[in-house]
Amino acid sequence: MAANDTSAISLDQLKTVANSLEEQRQAIYNTYNQKVKKVLTSSQQCFQVAGLDFSQIESSFNTTFNTVNTNLQGLVLLLNNDVIRNYSEVSEALKKLFNTDLAKQLESLLSIASSSSSKK
Protein backbone atom coordinates (compact mmCIF):
# COMPACT_ATOMS: atom_id res chain seq x y z
CA MET A 1 0.00 0.00 0.00
CA ALA A 2 1.27 3.43 -0.85
CA ALA A 3 2.38 5.82 1.87
CA ASN A 4 -0.48 8.18 1.04
CA ASP A 5 -3.10 5.40 0.99
CA THR A 6 -5.59 6.46 3.66
CA SER A 7 -7.26 3.02 3.72
CA ALA A 8 -4.14 1.36 5.17
CA ILE A 9 -4.42 0.24 8.78
CA SER A 10 -1.54 1.33 10.94
CA LEU A 11 -0.05 -0.65 13.77
CA ASP A 12 -1.06 2.14 16.15
CA GLN A 13 -4.69 1.81 15.03
CA LEU A 14 -4.63 -1.94 15.74
CA LYS A 15 -3.16 -1.30 19.19
CA THR A 16 -5.80 1.37 19.83
CA VAL A 17 -8.57 -1.08 18.88
CA ALA A 18 -7.11 -3.76 21.16
CA ASN A 19 -6.79 -1.30 24.07
CA SER A 20 -10.30 0.01 23.51
CA LEU A 21 -11.75 -3.52 23.44
CA GLU A 22 -9.95 -4.33 26.69
CA GLU A 23 -11.31 -1.15 28.32
CA GLN A 24 -14.84 -1.98 27.10
CA ARG A 25 -14.51 -5.56 28.35
CA GLN A 26 -13.40 -4.33 31.75
CA ALA A 27 -16.26 -1.79 31.88
CA ILE A 28 -18.83 -4.49 31.06
CA TYR A 29 -17.32 -6.81 33.66
CA ASN A 30 -17.34 -4.07 36.33
CA THR A 31 -20.88 -2.98 35.47
CA TYR A 32 -22.13 -6.52 35.78
CA ASN A 33 -20.36 -7.24 39.06
CA GLN A 34 -21.02 -3.86 40.69
CA LYS A 35 -24.51 -3.02 39.42
CA VAL A 36 -26.37 -5.79 37.61
CA LYS A 37 -25.73 -8.41 40.29
CA LYS A 38 -26.97 -6.00 42.98
CA VAL A 39 -30.15 -5.26 41.01
CA LEU A 40 -30.76 -8.97 40.46
CA THR A 41 -30.26 -9.76 44.13
CA SER A 42 -32.48 -6.91 45.28
CA SER A 43 -35.18 -8.07 42.83
CA GLN A 44 -35.06 -11.67 44.00
CA GLN A 45 -38.33 -11.43 45.92
CA CYS A 46 -40.10 -9.78 42.94
CA PHE A 47 -39.02 -12.67 40.71
CA GLN A 48 -40.28 -15.20 43.21
CA VAL A 49 -43.65 -13.40 43.60
CA ALA A 50 -43.96 -13.47 39.82
CA GLY A 51 -43.38 -17.22 39.93
CA LEU A 52 -39.92 -17.07 38.35
CA ASP A 53 -36.96 -19.14 39.45
CA PHE A 54 -34.36 -16.64 40.69
CA SER A 55 -31.47 -19.10 40.54
CA GLN A 56 -32.24 -19.80 36.87
CA ILE A 57 -32.42 -16.07 36.07
CA GLU A 58 -29.18 -15.41 37.95
CA SER A 59 -27.51 -18.34 36.20
CA SER A 60 -28.62 -17.05 32.79
CA PHE A 61 -27.22 -13.59 33.51
CA ASN A 62 -23.95 -15.07 34.81
CA THR A 63 -23.61 -17.26 31.74
CA THR A 64 -24.35 -14.40 29.34
CA PHE A 65 -21.95 -11.92 30.95
CA ASN A 66 -19.22 -14.54 31.40
CA THR A 67 -19.53 -15.50 27.74
CA VAL A 68 -19.31 -11.86 26.63
CA ASN A 69 -16.33 -11.30 28.93
CA THR A 70 -14.54 -14.45 27.75
CA ASN A 71 -15.16 -13.70 24.07
CA LEU A 72 -13.95 -10.10 24.35
CA GLN A 73 -10.93 -11.25 26.31
CA GLY A 74 -10.17 -13.82 23.60
CA LEU A 75 -10.50 -11.18 20.90
CA VAL A 76 -8.12 -8.84 22.74
CA LEU A 77 -5.60 -11.67 23.17
CA LEU A 78 -5.94 -12.61 19.50
CA LEU A 79 -5.33 -9.02 18.43
CA ASN A 80 -2.36 -8.56 20.75
CA ASN A 81 -0.72 -11.96 20.35
CA ASP A 82 -1.41 -12.81 16.72
CA VAL A 83 -2.70 -9.97 14.57
CA ILE A 84 -0.50 -7.16 15.89
CA ARG A 85 2.61 -9.34 16.23
CA ASN A 86 2.19 -10.81 12.75
CA TYR A 87 1.32 -7.40 11.30
CA SER A 88 4.58 -6.05 12.75
CA GLU A 89 6.61 -8.99 11.45
CA VAL A 90 5.08 -8.79 7.96
CA SER A 91 5.56 -5.01 7.90
CA GLU A 92 9.21 -5.34 8.82
CA ALA A 93 9.76 -8.09 6.24
CA LEU A 94 8.14 -5.96 3.54
CA LYS A 95 10.28 -2.96 4.51
CA LYS A 96 13.44 -5.06 4.31
CA LEU A 97 12.36 -6.56 0.99
CA PHE A 98 11.52 -3.13 -0.39
CA ASN A 99 14.86 -1.71 0.81
CA THR A 100 16.76 -4.67 -0.70
CA ASP A 101 14.96 -4.31 -4.05
CA LEU A 102 15.48 -0.56 -4.02
CA ALA A 103 19.19 -1.00 -3.29
CA LYS A 104 19.54 -3.48 -6.18
CA GLN A 105 17.73 -1.14 -8.55
CA LEU A 106 19.91 1.80 -7.50
CA GLU A 107 23.04 -0.31 -7.87
CA SER A 108 21.91 -1.35 -11.34
CA LEU A 109 21.16 2.25 -12.32
CA LEU A 110 24.50 3.42 -10.97
CA SER A 111 26.38 0.71 -12.86
CA ILE A 112 24.54 1.64 -16.07
CA ALA A 113 25.31 5.29 -15.49
CA SER A 114 28.99 4.59 -14.73
CA SER A 115 29.41 2.36 -17.79
CA SER A 116 27.78 5.05 -19.97
CA SER A 117 30.08 7.75 -18.66
CA SER A 118 33.20 5.55 -19.09
CA LYS A 119 32.30 5.00 -22.77
CA LYS A 120 32.45 8.75 -23.45
Round to whole Å and give the CA distance between 2 and 38.
Answer: 53
Alpha helices in the chain (DSSP H): 11-31, 37-42, 44-49, 54-78, 84-119
pLDDT for 119: 59
Q: Is 9 inside any structural domain? A: no
Rounded alpha-carbon distances, angstroms, from residue 55 to 31, 40, 44, 61, 66: 20, 10, 9, 10, 16
The count of other CB atoms within 10 Å of the CB of residue 43 is 14
Q: Is 7 inside any structural domain? A: no
Q: How confident is the model over 38-44, as a mean pLDDT?
A: 95
DSSP label of 4: T
**pLDDT-based confidence at residue 114 (cuts at 50, 70, 90):** low
pLDDT for 68: 94
Q: Is 106 inside any structural domain? A: yes
Domain interval for residue 44: 14-119
Q: How many domains does the chain have?
A: 1
Q: Is 21 inside any structural domain? A: yes
**Whole-model pTM?**
0.65
Average pLDDT, the chain: 84
Using the predicted structure, report yes or no on whether residue 96 has a pLDDT greater than 70.
Answer: yes
Q: Is 41 inside any structural domain? A: yes
Q: Is 113 inside any structural domain? A: yes
Q: How confident is the model over 38-57, as a mean pLDDT?
A: 94
